[in-house]
Structure 1
Amino acid sequence: MLREKYLTNWCMMVVILMVLAANATAQIYVDAAATGANDGSSWDDAYIDLQDALDVALAGDEIWVAASIYKPTKLEFADYPRSATFQLISGVALLGGFGGETILSGDIGISGDNSDNCYHVVTGSFTDVSAVIEGFTIEGGCADGPWDIDGIDPPERYDQGGGMFNFLGGPTVNHCIFQGNYALLHGGAVENRGANSSPKFNHCTFNTNSAVQYGGGMYNAPGSSTEFSNCVFNGNSAGLHGGGMNTNQGNTEVSNCEFNGNFAEQAGGGMVIDRSIAVLTNCKFHDNTAQNLNGGGLVVWECDPELTDCKFHGNFALYGGGFAAGYLCDAKLSNCEFNGNTAMLGGGVIAYMSNPELIDCKINDNTASVCGGGMNIFFSSSPILTGCKINDNSAPAGAGMFNDIGCNPELTDCEFNGNLAENEGGGMYNDGGAILTDCILQGNHSGDLGGGMANGSSSTVILEHCLLWGNTAVNATGEFAQISDNGFPVINNSCIQGWTGYFGGANNTGKKSEYIK
C-alpha cells in the first residue's frame, strides 16, 4: 500500500515538473555588439541579428534586445526588399531598452533616403494580446508602396502603417516610441485594420509621424478595437483628417493620453472620431491645429462618444477650436475644460447638426473671430448644457455663446461671466430658440446691444428663474443692457437689473436680493 502511494506521488511530481518545464520562460538574447557564439543563449553569446531570435522563438519565450539599431531583414515578398518587417509572434515578448535606446529602423537602404525604406518596420498581424513589444523606438518606416502585390486577399496595404501595421492582430505595445514614420494613405506611425485588430498601447509616444490622408500618428480602420493608456501624440500631421489619431468605424478607449501640437490640413488636428464607439477619460488636447475645417483638438462625426475630465487648451480650427460636435453627433462631455482655444466660429466648442450634452464643463478664455467665442451652435443643433461655466470668452458677436437660426439649446444651472463681444451679445446671442433655467449672466459686455443677452428678431428665448445682472452695453442701458428688446423672449421668475416690466412675464423682479439660486 505504501509502495503504491509512493509511486502515485512520484508520478504526480514528474508530471508537475514536466508541465513547469514546458511553461518555463526562456530568454533569448540579442546584441548587435556581441562577439560570442551567436546562439542567443546569453549576452556574451547573443544573436547579433534580431531576426535570428524571432526565427527560433516559441510561445512563452522572451527576446531581450540590447541597445543598438536593428533593421528588418526578413522579406514578405522575395522580389520586394522593402517588404522586410519584424513580424511579432503570439506568446513571445520582444523586450528592448537593455543598456540604452533600442531602435528598430526602417532605413534598410541608402542611409537617410526614405525612398528605399521598408514599408512596415513592425507587423503585428494575426497576433493576439500575448504578442508583446516593449521598450523600443520604431522609426523610419515609409509606407508609400502598392495597395496590393500578389492579388490574394487580404491586400498587403504597403501604403499604410509605416511604423507598424496590424491586420486582424491584437498585440500589446508598451513603452515604445514611434517617430518619423510615414504613410502615403493612412496611419503614418500605426494602422490597425480588421475585425480582430485589437492592439493595446500603454505608455507609448508618437512623435512627428505623418500621413498624406488620415491619421498621422494612428489610424484605426473600420472594425478595429483599440485601447490607449498613458500615451502621448506630439507633432504628428495628416494631409486630410486626424493629425494625431483617426478612428473610423471602430471602437476606441483612450485614457490619460495627451495630444500636443498635432496638425491636420482639414479636420481634427488632435483626433477624429468618425462613426465609432469611443470613450475618452482624462485626456489633454493642447496646441493642435485643424487648418481648414473643424475640431482643432477633436472632431466627432455620426457617433456618440463619451468624454470625461478632458482638457482642451490652445487649439485652433476654422470651426470649433477646441472641440467640434459634427454631423449627427450626440456626444456626452462631463467635467471637461476648454481654455484658450481659437476659431472663426466657436472658439471653444462648436455644434453643427448635432445634439451634444455638456455636464459641469468649463468654457473659458476662448476666442472667435466671427461669433461664438465660447461656443457656437448652428445648423439645427440642440445641445444640452447643465452646470457649465462659460466665462471670459471674446468674439464680435455672442462672446459666450452664439445660437443660430433653427437651433434650440437647453441650458440649466449655467453661468456666463466676463464675456466680451465687440458688437452684440456679450454673454449670449440668439437667433434661434433657447431655454435657460436657473442660469446666471453676469458681468458680460457688448460694444452694441445686449451685454448679457442679445436676441435676433426671429428668436424665441425662454428664461426661467434666471439672473441677469451687472452686464453692460455701449448702446443700451437699464434692462436693455441686460437683454436686448428684439425677438420674443418669455421671462418668468427671474431677476433682471433695471427691470421695468417691459418684457412682461410672471414673478420677475429688478431686486437682486429677491433672487435665490
Structure 2
Amino acid sequence: MQKILLLIGLVLSAFTATAQVIYVDADAGGNNDGTSWTDAYTDLGIAINNAEAGSSLWIAGGRYVTPDTAAFFIDRELSLYGGFDGSETSVEEADPVTNPTILSGDVMGNDNGTVYDSTLAADNNRVLIIIDTSEVTSSFTVTLDGLTIRDGAVAADYEEGSPIPFAGGGLYSEARTDISRVTFTANRAPFGSASAHIFTTGSQSTFDNVVSEGNYSGIRGNHYFNSVDSISFTNSTFSGSTDVVVDGGFISTVAMTGLTIDGCSFSDLNGGDVVRGGALNTASTLDIRIMNSDFSNLSADLGGALYLRNPNLYLADRETNAEECVIDNCTFTDINAQRWGGAAFFGNISHTISNSTFTDGIGAQTGGLGGAVYGQSGDTIRYAYHIDNTDFIRNTTSGSSGGAIFYFADGVDVKITGSRFEGNIAAGNAGAIFLQGSSTDRVTASMIDNCEFVGNTAGAGFAAAALLLFEKSTVSNSSFMENSATNGSLYVGAGGKAYHVVNSEFTNNGSSTNSTFARGAGIWAGLSGGNLGDSVVVDSCTFSGNVVSGDDFISGGSAIYVSGDTGPMVPSFRVMNSSFVNNASTNDADAAIEVINGTNLEVINSDFFANSSSGNGGAINMWQLPERDTLDNVPFTFYLPDNLPTLTVERSLFVNNNAGVQGGAINLFSSTIDMRNSIMLGNTVDNGEGSGGGIIINGSSSPGAVLDNYLINNTFYNNRDGGRIGIDTLPGSVGNAVAIFQPGNTDADSNAVVLTIQNNAFFMDAPQEESIGLELNTGDVSDPTGFGAITVNSLGGNYFSSSLAANLPFTDVSGEDIVNVEVDLEDIFVDPFESDPNSDFPNVNLVDSETNVLINGGTTGDLVPEVDFYNRTRIGLPDIGAIELDTTSTSVAEPISQSGLALEFFPNPTVDVVNIVNHDPAIRDFTVLVSDMQGRFVGGRQFGAVNNKLDVSGLPKGVYNLTLLINGKVYSQQIMRQ
C-alpha cells in the first residue's frame, strides 16, 4: 500500500512540475514574478533563470533582447511558447502570426533589418544557448514554439579548430529540442547561422512548421548538425535572396545517421561558386529521407539543391543499400550548379529517387557534369543508384555532358525505371543520361527500364538520350522519340562489356528540321575488342522513321550505327526479333544499320520495311575503314586482312528497301554474308545507279583476303538493280537479287570471293533480268581486268525464274539447279502480285499444290537449316526457299488457354495490334504463325520479350488462328481483327 501511495505521489508531483506555467510579458506592470499575465516577468532572461525544470513559459508578443554580453541560457527541461496577447488561458490560444514573439540578439537595436552591416552588428549576441551535460543521450527536451529568433551573431573569423565558438548565431544546442512554429531570420554565424546542434545529446531533435529566411552562414549551413542523429524537419520553409551571394546553404550535417525532411520547401538561394548544396549539405551522413518537398530557384558551386558526400571508405563494411538516401515525391525547379550536379550531387552514397520531378535545371555552367543529378564513388565500396517514376524535363549541361544525369558507375549498380526524360540538353555528350563504368569492374550492372526519352539533344557529341560507357547494361521496355545529336540517341559500348537493348522503340529520332544526326539516329555502338570483346544484343525492338542527315566523312545507320575494333576478341552485335520501318539515311549516308571495322553482325528473325539510303545499302551496310600509312614518304591506304567481319542473317524479311548507290537491301565491302531462311521482296537501287537490288558483295583489296559467303534456303522476289548501262570506265549495274564485285589490284592466287548457294528461290517478273550478276571492274584504269578469284558454288536446289548471267558461271558441287523462265508465279506463291488490297507486299507463302516445284525440291546437306522462316521444322526433303509448306492442322493443337502457360493476349478483338505478354518464366522465346480460317498462312514471327506486339493491321477483317510453337509443343489461340 505504501508503494502505491508513493507512486501516486511521484506521478502527481511530475504532473505538477510539467504543468507549471510561468508568464512573460515585456509590457506587464504587476509584481514581475511570472505567476499570472498581470504579474508576468518582463525580462525573459530572468524568467528562464528562475524557472524550475519542466516549467512552461508563456511569452506574450513583443521583443525580448538578450543580456548585453550573453545569450539566453537553458540547461534543463523547459518549454517556451510565444504568440500570446496576454489574456490566454490555454497554450492552444497562442497566435504567433498576430502576436509575434521575438527573441533578438541585437543588444543595441541598431541593425537596419535589410542589409547586414558588420559594424552595426558588433554588439549582437547569440540568441539562445541550450546545454545538456549528459554523456551520450539528452536527459531532457526543450520545446520552442511560436517564437521568432533573429539578429543572432557570433564571431565570423573562423580559420580552423573547433566550430563551437563559431556555431549557432540564433540557437546553439547540445540538447534535444522540439521546435515548432519558430521563425529564424537575420542570424549570422560561420556554422549554423540560424541553429546549431552539436554532440549526441542533441539527437532526436525535431523542427516542425519552421520558417528560416534571410540567415547568413559563412561556412556551413543555416542549420548545422554535427555528431547528432535522428533529426527531422517537417512542414517547414527555407528561403533566401538570389540578389545576395551567400557562403552557406540552408542545412548542413556532419557525422549523422538519420535525417528526415518531409513537406518542406527551399527557395531563392544564390550560392555562387562557394556553396555546395544550396538546400542541404551532408558529410559522413547516412539514412537520409527527403520527402514531399519542393526545391526552387537555388544555385551552388556543386549540387544546386543537394550535396550529399561521404569520405572514401566511410563505414567501409556497410552492405549495399539503395536506401541510404531516399528522395520521394519531391520537385526540383530552376536549380543550377556552377559545376557538377545541377540539382543534386551524390558522392560515396547509395540513393533512391522516386516519384519526383527535375525541371529547368542547369548543371556545369563552367564545365562540369549532370544538369539535374550527378553521382560518383571514389572507393571500393559497392553502391546502388535507383531512380523510379521520376521526370527530368528541360535540364541542361551548358558546359559538358549528362543533360539530366551523369553517373560515374564504377562499382555501382544503377537502376532507372518508369521515368521520363524530355527536352534535356547537353552541350557535349548524353542529352539525358551519361553512365560511365570501368573496364575493370566485372561485377556491377546498370538497367534502364520502362523509360521515355523525348526530344533530348546532345550538341555535337554522342547520345542524344543515353550514353552507357564501360558499363554492363540493359535497356528494356523503353521508348526513344524525336531525339537529336550527331551520334546516336542511345550510345553503348567499350570495356569488354555486355549490352542488351530489349523490347524498346526508337521513333522519329533525327526527323526534326534542325537535327544533325550523322550516325546512328537510334543506337550508336562504339565497340572494343581486346582480350574481352564487347557484345551487344538488340532484341524485340522497333525502329521507325529515324533519320540520319549529317553529311560527314562517315555517315549512316539511320537506325543503328556500329563502329568495331580489332583485337584478340572481335566484338559482336546481334539484332533479333526486331523491326526496321521507314528509316532514312540522306545526304549520301548509308543504310538503316551500318557496321564498320571488325564487328560481326547477326540479324535473326527481324523485319526491314521501306528503309532507304542515298548511299549504300538500304537496310544494312558493312564495310572497313581503310588504314593510312606512308611508304617512301608516299601516302597510301590499305585494309587489315584480319579485320573482315561477317554478317549472319537468319529468318529475316527485307521488303521495299532502297539504296541510292548500290545494295538495295544489303551492301557488303570487305565483309562476308551467311544468310539463311530469309526473304527479300521488292528491294531496289535508284534508277540509273549501281548493282545488287537485294545484296551486293564487294570483295576486298586487302592482300590475302578470302571472303566466303553463303546463301542457303532464301527467297528473292522482284528485287531490282539500278539498271545502269555501262559506259567507258563506268560498269553497268547487275544482279537484281545478288551482285558480286571484286576491286582491282587484287591477286587471283591470294584474293578470292566465294559464294555458296543452296535451295534458294530467285524469282523475277521479267525473265530476261538475271538474279545473280558479276559487276565488271572497268572503273579501275590501273587494273581493268584484275579481279582475284571469283567462284559461285552451287550445292543444288536453287530455282531461277529468269536467265543466268553469262559472265558468272556456277560450279556445280552437288545437286542440280532449275532455270524456268516460263513459270507461272501464281502456281508457286499465294499472292505474288499483291492483289490483296490490304497487303503491303507480295505474299510468298507456298501454294499447297502437287505441281508446286518448290515443295520438296531442295537438296539436303549440312548447311540446310533445320527450321524455316517461321521457325517450323523442315521434314524430309526441304522445300526450296525460306518457307517450308506446313500441312499441320491448327485444329489439333491444344488451346493455349488450357495449357497452364502464362501467356496473355489483348485486345481481342483488335484493330491493329495484339499484345502478347509472356508472364511464364519457363518460356524464353516462342513462334506465332497466323493463318486464316481456310488454313492459309498469312504471316508469323518469333518473339523473345515479356511484352510483344503482333501486327495484324495489314490483314483483312475476320477471324484468324494463331499456331504457337513453344518449347517443342504446338498450341492454338484464336483472334479477331475488326
Query: Shorter-chain-normalised TM-score: which range?
Result: 0.7 to 0.9
Q: Which amino acid counterpart does residue 310 of structure 1 have in structure 2?
A: S
Other structure's SS at 1:393 match: coil
- Work out the CA distance in 2 between the residues paired with 1:341 and 1:204: 27
Tell me if the contact between 2:61 and 2:82 (Cα under 8 Å) persists in the aligned partners: no
TM-score for both structures, normalised by structure 2: 0.44
Please list, as runs of the form range in 1=range in 2, the aligned pairs for 1:330-341 lying within 5 A after superposition. 330-341=445-456
1:445 alignment counterpart: 584
In the alignment, is residue 187 of structure 1 matched against residue 286 of structure 2? Answer: no
Equivalent of 1:327 in 418, 437, 441: 437
For 2:288, the equivalent position in structure 1 comes to: 199
Which letter maps to 2:423? G
1:149 equivalent in structure 2? none
Q: 1:355 aligns with which of 472, 495, 510?
A: 472
Supply the AA of the counterpart residue of 1:49. Answer: L
1:449 deviation in Å?
Answer: 4.9
Partner SS, residue 400 of structure 2: strand
Residue in structure 2 matched with residue 507 of structure 1 by the alignment: 677
Q: Given the alignment, which residue of 205, 209, 217 partners 1:96?
A: 209
Distance of 1:234 and 1:70 partners within structure 2:
29
- Provide the residue aligned with 1:402 in structure 2: 524
Instruction: State the Cα distance separating 1:92 from its structure 2 match.
Output: 3.2
Aligned to 1:342: 457
Q: Distance in 2 between matches of 1:460 and 1:336?
A: 29
Gaps of at least 5 residues in structure 2 are 20-53, 66-78, 87-99, 105-125, 133-137, 156-162, 168-187, 316-323, 378-382, 439-443, 511-516, 529-533, 550-554, 565-571, 624-644, 658-663, 667-672, 682-840, 842-937, 943-978
Question: How far 1:330 sits from its partner (Å)?
Answer: 2.8
Corresponding letter in the other structure for 2:207: L
Inter-partner Cα distance in structure 1 for 2:57 and 2:559 = 65
- Quote the offset at 1:360 in angstroms: 0.9
SS at match of 2:189: helix
Relative to structure 1, the CA distance from residue 29 to residue 17 in structure 2 (aligned partners, 3 Å threshold; closer, same or farther) is closer
Work out whether residues 520 and 558 of structure 2, in 8 Å CA contact, stay in contact via their aligned partners in 1: yes
Cα 1:386–1:70 shift into 2, 3 Å? farther
Instruction: Name which of structure 1's ranges 221-230 and 289-298 shifts more when overlaid on structure 2.
Output: 221-230
Over residues 438-494 of structure 1, what are the superposed CA-to-partner deviations in whole Å (9 max), with x where a residue is unaligned?
111112111135442222253321111111112122235xxx312225453111111
Q: Is the 8 A contact 1:29 1:53 kept in 2?
A: no
The amino acid across from 1:236 in the alignment is I
Residue 286 of structure 1 is matched in structure 2 by 393
User: Contact 1:449/1:473 (CA < 8 Å) preserved in 2?
Assistant: yes
Offset of 1:506 from its aligned partner?
Answer: 1.6
Using the TM superposition, give the Cα deviation of residue 377 of structure 1 relative to its aligned residue in structure 2, in angstroms: 2.6
Query: What count of residue pairs does the alignment treat as equivalent?
Result: 474
- Distance in 1 (CA, whole Å) between partners of 2:55 and 2:297 is 33
1:167 corresponds to which residue? 254
Letter in 2 for 1:43: G
1:305–1:65: structure 2 CA closer, same or farther, 3 Å change rule? farther
Report what 1:226 is aligned to: 325
Q: Give me the whole-angstrom Cα distance separating, in 2, the residues matched to 1:308 and 1:389.
A: 16
Q: Report the counterpart of residue 158 of structure 1 in structure 2.
A: none
* Distance change in 2, residues 1:300/1:130 (3 Å): closer
> Bigger shift: 391-400 or 55-64?
55-64
Residue 64 (structure 1) aligned with residue 145 (structure 2): yes
The alpha carbon displacement at 1:118 in A equals 6.9
Q: 2:599 aligns with which of 456, 459, 462?
A: 459
Change (3 A) 1:291 1:133: same
Taking the TM superposition and a 5 Å limit, the aligned residue runs for 1:101-180 are 102-107=211-216, 119-139=220-240, 144=247, 162-169=249-256, 170-179=258-267, 180=269
Q: Select the residue among 237, 259, 264 that pairs with 2:358.
A: 259
User: Map of 1:3-82 to 2, 5 A cutoff?
Assistant: 34-35=61-62, 40-44=80-84, 47-49=101-103, 55=130, 63-65=144-146, 70=150, 72-73=152-153, 78=165, 82=189
Letter in 1 for 2:437: Y
Aligned-partner Cα distance in 2 for 1:509–1:29: 89
Query: Structure 1 CA distance, aligned partners of 2:18 and 2:679?
Result: 79
Superposed CA deviations along residues 114-160 of structure 1, whole A, max 9, x for unmatched, are xx86742111333322543531224369664xxxxxxxxxxxxxxxx
Letter matched to residue 35 of structure 1: G
Taking structure 1 as reference, are residues 79 and 439 closer, same or farther at Cα in structure 2, changes over 3 Å only? closer
Residue deviations 1:300-350 (CA, integer Å, cap 9, x gap) = 111222111121111111111011111337321121111111002110111
2:724 is matched with which residue? none
Look up the match of 2:619: 482
User: Residues 458 and 86 of structure 1: is their aligned pair in 2 closer, same or farther, counting only changes over 3 Å?
Assistant: same
Equivalent runs, 1:229-248 vs 2, <5 Å: 229-248=328-347
Distance 1:400 1:72, change over 3 A: farther
> Residue 516 of structure 1 corresponds to which residue in structure 2?
941
**Partner residue of 1:150?**
none
Q: Distance in 2 between matches of 1:23 and 1:198?
A: 34
Which has the greater radius of gyration?
A: 2
Query: CA–CA distance in 2 between the matches of 1:247 and 1:175?
Result: 22
SS of 2:557's equivalent?
A: coil
Instruction: Assess, with a 3 A threshold, how the Cα gap between structure 1 residues 37 and 250 changes in structure 2: closer, same or farther.
Output: closer
Native 8 Å contact 1:63 1:93 kept in 2: no
Q: Aligned pair in 2 of structure 1 residues 201, 17: CA closer, same or farther (>3 Å)?
A: farther
- Cα deviation, residue 172, structure 1: 1.7
Structure 2: which amino acid aligns with 1:188? G
**Paired amino acid for 1:245:** A
Q: CA separation of 1:61/1:77 partners in 2, compared to 1, >3 Å: closer, same or farther?
A: closer
C-alpha offsets along residues 22-81 of structure 1, whole Å, 9 cap, x if unaligned?
Answer: 999x998999x9239998335217742388677489866654347x78565467554786
Residue 313 (structure 1) aligns with: 422
Aligned residues of 1:397 and 1:426 also touching (Cα < 8 A): yes
Q: 1:21 to 1:319 in 2, by over 3 A?
A: farther
Residues 71 and 239 of structure 1: is their aligned pair in 2 closer, same or farther, counting only changes over 3 Å? same
Distance in structure 2 (CA, Å) of the matches to 1:311 and 1:352: 21
Aligned counterpart, 1:110: none
Aligned mates of 1:376, 1:358 — CA distance in 2: 11
Query: Residue 410 of structure 1: CA displacement?
Result: 1.2
Higher relative contact order (CA 8 A, sep 6+): 1
C-alpha distance 226-60 of structure 1, shift in aligned 2 (>3 A): farther
1:250 corresponds to 2:349: yes
Q: Tell me if structure 2 keeps the 8 A contact 1:188–1:218.
A: yes
Secondary structure in structure 1 of the residue aligned to 2:618: helix
Structure 2 CA distance, aligned partners of 1:28 and 1:319?
60
1:386 aligns with 2:487: no
How far apart, in 2, do the equivalents of 1:466 and 1:27 lie?
79
What is the DSSP-based 3-state SS (H/G/I as helix, E as strand, rest coil) of the residue aligned with 2:941? Answer: coil
SS in 1 for 2:399: strand
| Counterpart residue identity of residue 353, structure 1 | F
Contact 1:118/1:143 (<8 A) preserved: no
Contact 1:122–1:165, Cα closer than 8 Å, also in 2:
yes
C-alpha deviation, 1:221, in angstroms: 0.7
Alignment of 1:267-306 (within 5 A): 267-275=369-377, 276-301=383-408, 302=410, 303-306=412-415
Q: Which of 175-184 and 274-283 deviates more? A: 175-184
Whether 1:209 and 2:298 are equivalent positions in the alignment is yes
Distance 1:16 1:442, change over 3 A: farther
1:416 lines up with 2:532 in the alignment: no
Change (3 A) 1:392 1:64: farther
Shift of 1:90: 2.9
Q: Is the 8 A contact 2:454 2:481 kept in 1?
A: yes
